[in-house]
Structure 1
Amino acid sequence: MFTGLDDLDWAALRHAYGTAEGVPELLRGLLDPDPATREVALDAMYGAVHHQGSVYDSTVAAVPFLLEALRTPALPGRAGIAEFLASVAENCSAVVVSNPTPAGADNFGPAKADNPSQSEADNPNPAKAGEPGPTRAEISGIAEAHEAAAAGMARASLRLIEEAVPGLIGLADDPDPKVRAAVSQLLALHRDGVAVLITRAAAESDPEARTGMIEGLGRSADPAVAEHLISVAAEAPRASASVAALIAAAHITPERVPTDGITELLQRAYAEEAEPAEPAGFETDTLIGAIRVHRERADQGRRNPAVARSIDSFARLLGPRVAERTAILTELLRDPHPDIVQDALFGAGHLIERWRGDYRELVDLVAAQLPNPGAERGLNHWVPLSAPAADALAAQVARGDGLVHHEIGLPSLSPALSALIDLGDERAFEPLVAIVERPEHPRDAVQRLRGFPQHADRILDLLLASDAEPDDLATALALCGAAARPAVPRILSVPVKSWTADALGRIGGDQAIDALRAALRGNDVSVALAAAEALWRLESSSEAIEVLGAHLTEPGALPKIAAIGPAAGGLLKKIRPLLESSGKAGWVSTNAALAVWRIAGDAEAATPALVAGWNGNEHARRRIAEQAGGVPALLPLFEAELAEVRRAGTDEYSFSSSQVADDEKLQDSITRSIAARERRVSRR
């Protein structure tokens, strides 16, 4: 098996973690008779050779051997290999689309001497110790070379797979139904493979293989295939097959997939009789093994494990059809069956976290599912939209101690308590105090006290008598202002950090000022900048402005200067040239424009960079809306943003526990800026 595998110089090839000399062992492991060994090898292939969707020269080298194994009858592990190759093809296709082949370039990117992944030993002119590092332009060139190399390897991998697909068509009749299901994702890359899948799926007797073939057809980009799948859904004798066909069609043309009667269809599919899910009977210390075991356990007790997560999958693919998605999930969250409710909770999360809409009823229904952990986590991630669920969250906190206990390590705050804290709900304060008073408590518990400034006196007494870490103490006591000065010696018992500098600037006093002045002269630029901001807050120090002006292009400097406003007018001459900066994501030019606007009110000078920053960096929009709402040219951009359905800065794969809150704050900032402008106009 694997003819010529050992003839390649794998040690000269690379993967995510360095030399690829261990890849031959992984390839052989993929075909081992022991399923645990195969799982370990497959996990390592995903983790190194195809790390987070990336491809390397070792990926290109491995593809022919993987294809050889896939074509060899009766070998174990071929289904996993087919899925791996399909993942490589999918990710490579995305890279190729975003990086078209430049004229005159070959398919493998630049020569090795231009490849930034090479070792220092391969570089004929490595930097010597003590010599200056690369300039920004050189770093940019290295990044571009790396991107070009990655695109070249993606093209090479994709070409190898696509050229092999016609030779894989016979696997649609493979004796192993798992192989028939998995290889369908590859066959859909070729028109002949699509034709075979359409014919073969209609005759397939194995439910898993038939579903796999239908899902494979969803990888086609042909709208005619989507129409075929919609017709299959209308005629299929089993509801589960209809659901699979609609999901596959939604991958191709989500705007055309019908939703009439979909909730009843999903309910029938989930209720179908099916073989119980059989666990594999082993565990491995791998990510894909952990995911498999988690799914095996989750599928226990499901009426039809074959359709697990279909609700979430279908709803996600509808994308901006928010009203329809909301109606479907609202109805399914009222279903009496826990398997349907669980998958509807997943669907609600993907909807609320990435799309804007009126979710009050949906939130109420999710709250009714407490203490379901999925409902609790969702409500925590959806603050402030989870405010209507505050009573249910408080009841959930009252049922326990507000903690999640782990087998190893400290407990963590429960999602319900964390949500109540973020909502500023008074019912969260006493449970949080009780947690802080415990001998062992979550590291962030002390810091979360800052959410209750109305209880500053109580917090001060609690923390002065506690053994809280100095950094945590500083973060929490910043809200107490001058009353927290007795805690300054404890705060200063460790080196000043940027967040402790901020706290010292709010607490004040001679000790704090002396420490901040010392931090101005330290080697840590981020701490010096935070100290400068804090000193300005305390005494409008000209020395603070000088320090900020000396580090204009450092992260955080320009926003701090903008916050000072007109008093920083002496820096305008140095700031204006930065309006033309082409720095990464446009942050430097955007922040320079905000500083020019806040210091001088010069809309004409600031507008080009603000418009460019708004259009080029969604993550900058909230800052622009909050600080430059009075710039006239931004009004059309504000109105266009409010008309968007997708949350700013998100896609179907992004996740942050704060992305709902961030987007809601953006919308609120825009709304207030527009309202303020309208008030100014009405007064004229």
Structure 2
Amino acid sequence: MKSPAELDDVPWSALTHAYGSAEDVPELIRALYQGDEETAAEAIHELYGNIHHQGSVYPASAPAVPFLAHAVHHASGRREDLLMLLATLADHDPADTELPHWPRSSVAAICAGLCDVLPDLLPCLGDPERGVRRAALRVVAAVAELLPHRTRALAAERIDALYVDDPVPAVRADALIVLDRFGRPLEPLDSPLPEIRLAGALLAAERSGPPYPAELVEVIAEDGAEPDPGDDDFPWSGTATQDERLTRLLTRDPDAALAVAARWIAAEDLGSRGSRLAQQTAETWRDQEREVLNLLLAALPRQRDTIAVAARLRTIGRWIGHLPEPDADLRDALHRYAGADDGTAGAALLALVHSRDPRALDLVVHRPSAQLLEAAARHFPEAAGRLIPVIRHELAAGATGNAGIDLVNALAPFGAAAREALPELVDCLRTRRAAIVAARRIGIDGIRTPEITDLLREATRSTDSSLRAAAAVAHFQLTDDTDTTLRTFEELLSGPGPVHWYLSGLEPLGRAATPLLPLIEPRLEAGYEWTRMAAAEAHHWITGSPDRAVPVLAELVEPTPVGLRALKALAAIGRIPEELRPTLRSFVSSPLRLLSDSPLSREGHPDEELRALAGGLLATV
């Protein structure tokens, strides 16, 4: 260990952390000794931000280790936080120690420093404060496989004693986990303490892998229903708490996860553990929606407050549209919550809309919001006569931002009937409210007036490049005038920035965009994958030939957002290279979700789209 008197012996100004020079580190360490807990807490917070930042460590991190270890013993208070900082700094994947770059890495230097000072920190394992003991166990665990033999033996002796005699069950369970990292696997499933049984079952399941033995699932279901109140304060690695480890473990086996979630929900869903586990299972595995929704329905009356209820209702709304025919009892429950006079009504009504329950329409019309109207338009396109007047009213009332965008997009499912809203769209364009989507809608609706064409022409000179592109396309759609449109796109495609946004808007121009090909063709080989994809799409729209587009798009097909877009483009072209078929079959057959949901997605889960698109192409192309 090193005392503050030795801080000036370290060339901190020559070292770096997350924000550049580490010359501020000595003062932060000295602040730990001022006898003021608030000052010490602020210093530790700053150290978490610079010598450890979002999972990264730096050249200044290892030199701080012996000083932090000294502060554990000699600074007043905050020992628990300092120990957790040391454990977090040393966090690493044990497999990394076999990699060629390990000896030169900052984390290797941190681990070496922590191994050196660990004998001085071992007394913390016997500290009277349970939090200090728990944090000290995390420090030992962080470098368990790197400890010299003597230090390892001393640590194991102390941890054995904690496992056998500590009066706090959570500490004994922690000791069990560290002993496992020392290569001493124990399976105390018959322990009288649920904390120890749960930790033992988790470790045994990690060793066995899925599908997990029934006796382990039973222990987890029985003993894991109540969260450890201190779990969030003591992550084992990085930000992974024991609860997060357990969730990750269970979601590797969907049958086990859903069985455990059902038991936890039946046990009052404490901390929403069961409902969150069910939700994560649906995120991880395909075709689990109906069972997950049934569990979430059972969890609703067990939530402790309206915030938790609204969270469960939002999750139901996210998945209920995946069912061809949602169960009547679930729809009835949503209808009841949608009529409540509290913070749950909006989430319940949106879920009811996604369930395609006709009762939702009356509620939406009387309690409209932009998000509800957009969803209702998608699910009830036959209700144009009821919804369009409400959408127009909301637009006329001055909706801006995302609300304005949702309202304009809500007109799309109604086809020609949406022309009723042309005055409101023109006003959006004039006042620059949701102007980009309004310009696109105006171009699609195909009504030409001098006012509209003048507004579009003016918008092509906007400082907003996305509006310029949308207005230029709409102007062409209404006038067939290529001069304004081509001039606008020549400027946009020649300038800096993400040109794929502009390329993706060229489809309505078709062959009229031929003069732009010299700006598009070089981008078929661009480094950025989104640019290559958009250039390939545009090339096909303009030339009508798939020859150059298909190889570019086929190379991009993978379970990623850009890969999904490339697959859509290939489907539109109607040509799938034969070598792509095994990939498409893997998209269809995978039981795991290959794509995560996006918060921007409004029309279903991207993974469902990937599977359906791949299946359709295999069947028809």
Query: In 2, distance between residues paired with 1:261 and 1:639?
Result: 36
Instruction: Report sequence identity in percent.
Output: 25
Question: Hey, what does 1:76 align to over in structure 2?
Answer: 77
Contact map agreement 1:263 1:331 (CA 8 A) in 2: no
Question: Hey, what does 1:305 align to over in structure 2?
Answer: none
Contact map agreement 2:83 2:139 (CA 8 A) in 1: yes
Question: Hey, what does 1:642 align to over in structure 2?
Answer: 588
- For residue 483 of structure 1, report the CA deviation from its aligned partner: 1.0
Matching of residue 212 in structure 1 with residue 174 in structure 2: yes
Pick from 493, 499, 505: which aligns with 2:437?
499
Flag the 1:501–1:489 CA change in 2: closer, same or farther, 3 A. Answer: closer
Question: Hey, what does 1:580 align to over in structure 2?
Answer: 525
Matches within 5 A, 1:350-361: 350-361=280-291
- For residue 664 of structure 1, report the CA deviation from its aligned partner: 1.7
Flag the 1:571–1:546 CA change in 2: closer, same or farther, 3 A. Answer: same
The one of the two structures with greater contact order (alpha-carbon pairs below 8 A, sep at least 6) is 1
Name the aligned partner's letter for residue 505 of structure 2: K
Name the aligned partner's letter for residue 220 of structure 2: L
Query: In 1, distance between residues paired with 2:11 and 2:430?
Result: 55
Flag the 1:639–1:505 CA change in 2: closer, same or farther, 3 A. Answer: same
Question: Hey, what does 2:569 align to over in structure 1?
Answer: 627
Pick from 265, 275, 299: which aligns with 1:369?
299
Aligned-partner SS, 1:388: coil
Aligned-partner SS, 1:76: coil
Question: Hey, what does 1:529 align to over in structure 2?
Answer: 469
Pick from 645, 651, 664: which aligns with 2:608?
664
State TM-score, norm by structure 1.
0.70
Q: CA RMSD in A?
A: 4.3
Aligned-partner SS, 1:468: coil
Flag the 1:76–1:445 CA change in 2: closer, same or farther, 3 A. Answer: same
Contact map agreement 1:311 1:344 (CA 8 A) in 2: no
Matching of residue 483 in structure 1 with residue 431 in structure 2: no
Question: Hey, what does 1:182 align to over in structure 2?
Answer: 135
Matches within 5 A, 1:425-440: 425-436=357-368
Matching of residue 618 in structure 1 with residue 560 in structure 2: yes
Q: Which moved more, 1:365-374 or 1:540-549?
A: 540-549
Matches within 5 A, 1:213-612: 213-216=175-178, 220=181, 225=183, 228-229=184-185, 231-234=186-189, 236-250=191-205, 253=207, 255=209, 258-269=212-223, 313-333=245-265, 335=266, 337-339=267-269, 342-371=272-301, 372=303, 373=309, 374-385=311-322, 388=326, 392=330, 395-399=333-337, 405=343, 414-436=346-368, 450-451=377-378, 452-465=380-393, 467-469=397-399, 472-473=403-404, 475-477=406-408, 479=411, 481-495=418-432, 497-507=435-445, 508-510=447-449, 511-538=451-478, 541-543=481-483, 544=485, 547-548=488-489, 550-552=491-493, 554-562=499-507, 565=510, 568-583=513-528, 586-600=529-543, 605-612=548-555
- For residue 78 of structure 1, report the CA deviation from its aligned partner: 1.9
Flag the 1:492–1:163 CA change in 2: closer, same or farther, 3 A. Answer: same
Contact map agreement 2:282 2:292 (CA 8 A) in 1: no
Name the aligned partner's letter for residue 523 of structure 1: T
Q: Which moved more, 1:5-14 or 1:413-422?
A: 5-14
Structure 1: stretches of 5+ with no match in the other structure: 108-151, 279-287, 293-308, 406-411, 437-441, 678-684
Flag the 1:161–1:602 CA change in 2: closer, same or farther, 3 A. Answer: farther
Query: In 1, distance between residues paired with 2:430 and 2:407?
Result: 16
Contact map agreement 2:160 2:175 (CA 8 A) in 1: no
State TM-score, norm by structure 2.
0.77
Question: Hey, what does 1:85 align to over in structure 2?
Answer: 86
Deviations 1:396-417 (A, max 9, x none): 3533557865xxxxxx973322
Name the aligned partner's letter for residue 362 of structure 2: E
Deviations 1:100-138 (A, max 9, x none): 639xxx94xxxxxxxxxxxxxxxxxxxxxxxxxxxxxxx
Deviations 1:131-168 (A, max 9, x none): xxxxxxxxxxxxxxxxxxxxx55554455445544654
Query: In 2, distance between residues paired with 1:550 and 1:64?
Result: 58
Contact map agreement 1:402 1:431 (CA 8 A) in 2: no
Question: Hey, what does 2:101 align to over in structure 1?
Answer: 101
Aligned-partner SS, 2:252: coil
Question: Hey, what does 1:281 align to over in structure 2?
Answer: none
Query: In 1, distance between residues paired with 2:345 and 2:100?
Result: 47
Query: In 2, distance between residues paired with 1:541 and 1:476?
Result: 29
Structure 2: stretches of 5+ with no match in the other structure: 234-240, 304-308, 412-416
Question: Hey, what does 2:236 align to over in structure 1?
Answer: none
Contact map agreement 1:587 1:613 (CA 8 A) in 2: no
